Amino acid sequence: MNLPGKFSRQPVWLDGLRQHGVPEDQVGALRRLVAKAANHELVQANPRYLAERLGLPEREALHLLVTAVAGGLFTLGWQTTCPACDASSETIQNLAEVDNQVQCHFCHFQFVPHLDDEISATVTATAVLRPSEKQHDDPAFRADVDARLGKTPALAMINVPGFRQLVFNQTVPEGQWLGVKRLVIFFSDLRQSTAFYHRRGDADAYHWVHQHFQVMFAAVEQFGGTAVKTIGDGIMGVFTEPVDALNAIAAGMKGLAELNETAGLADDDPLSLKVGIHQGSCIVVTLNGRLDYFGETVNIAARLAGLAQGDDVILSQEVVADAYVCQLTESLGDLHPFASQLSGLPDCFDLYRLTLKSANQSVTVW
């Protein structure tokens, strides 16, 4: 019998998702998927496949799945795929157990797996979702899905906003690392924040610094990035595509200009941002219980932010070489090439200073 309205039976687990702020349409999409899906579709499932079944963009689906993992509805799994023979490893339950040196069990090839390439993520429904069923794995079905959609890189999963907070038991063991082939990293810092605190006093200054964090976090999220951490009054964040990073920074600077305007800071002491963006390989480690990124690419990105003067972005050659970035810089402002040494590094770097059109000028060109 179908009972109408509030008397109809709704699984309790739906409320957990709602409490975590999952939008109602996504809660409904997951409820329908769980009701309809064959058992093998929810065992070691490729998150890209579930995104397709949920009718959601990949990033939104990953966000939903991470929340569902935190709520005990799914478990995560990690696999390494051999670059020589394409054979996949057994599913590993915790990221902590993924080795940074792998020997293929099939062809014995030895390789260093990367989070954005050879290491992929899967999810499996728990008994909370499918209480009466025994799990039924279907490797042929999974192989078909992977061939059609590509595996979901582990990096896409761990860079979901909230992964670090919600799935805190999935980390790399202290002292260990996992590799990333290519990551876009930005550092931002507030110009002259020491003087700003001195003039305004701690509480008032921090009020505006906090507002600036909100503006920046929203911009990073809007363009699919992850704010990894704050460092003093600055932010370190990561993206997959350099054009998304630059779009986010431009949106953040625009938001900051609006904040200056509303707050009446524009004439007196406007908040302005110094930013550096670089891309390259790096390693993921766990520090203070959180996943974090380290390596020369990270250090260079930080140095680039140090070369900025305010309302500008320092881009590395690697970032500007991206065709989409190159196109975007033309609409954003003026791009000036320059060469500079970076403290602690022997080479001279070819760099670009992008001065944004609007920022804190009275005439806005956006």
Using the contact rule CB under 5 A, the part of the chain among 24-32, 87-95, 150-158, 334-342 near Zn ion is 87-95
C-alpha 64/C-alpha 233 separation (Å) is 30
103 interacts with Zn ion by CB under 5 A: no
The C-alpha torsion from 298 through 302 and 304 to 307, rounded to 10°, is: -170
List, in sequence order, every residue forming a beta bridge with 282; answer none if it has no partner. Answer: 180
CB of 4 to Zn ion, least distance (A): 56
Quote the tokens at residue 283.
Answer: 């390693």
Residues 57/90, Cβ–Cβ less than 8 Å: no
CB of 48 to Zn ion, least distance (A): 23
Q: Which residue's CB is nearer to Zn ion, number 84 or number 231?
A: 84
Q: Provide CB contacts within 8 A for 2, sequence distance 6+.
A: 8
CB of 80 to Zn ion, least distance (A): 10
84 interacts with Zn ion by CB under 5 A: yes
Q: Which residue's CB is nearer to Zn ion, number 80 or number 126?
A: 80
Which of 38, 107, 127, 231 is close enough to bind Zn ion by CB under 5 A? 107
Using the contact rule CB under 5 A, the part of the chain among 67-75, 98-106, 115-123, 314-322 near Zn ion is 98-106
C-alpha 224/C-alpha 263 separation (Å) is 28
Q: Which residue's CB is nearer to Zn ion, number 82 or number 325?
A: 82
Which of 18, 93, 106, 331 is close enough to bind Zn ion by CB under 5 A? 106
- Provide DSSP, 7-47: GS---THHHHHHHTT--HHHHHHHHHHHHHS-GGGGSSB-H
82 interacts with Zn ion by CB under 5 A: yes
338 interacts with Zn ion by CB under 5 A: no
C-alpha 326/C-alpha 243 separation (Å) is 9
Residues 40/136, Cβ–Cβ less than 8 Å: yes
Using the contact rule CB under 5 A, the part of the chain among 31-39, 58-66, 108-116, 255-263 near Zn ion is 108-116
Beta carbons within 10 angstroms of residue 33's beta carbon: 17
Using the contact rule CB under 5 A, the part of the chain among 75-83, 163-171, 178-186, 300-308 near Zn ion is 75-83
CB of 76 to Zn ion, least distance (A): 24
Residue appearing with tokens 């050879």: 118
85 interacts with Zn ion by CB under 5 A: yes
| Footprint of Zn ion (CB under 5 A) | 82, 84-85, 87, 104, 106-107, 109
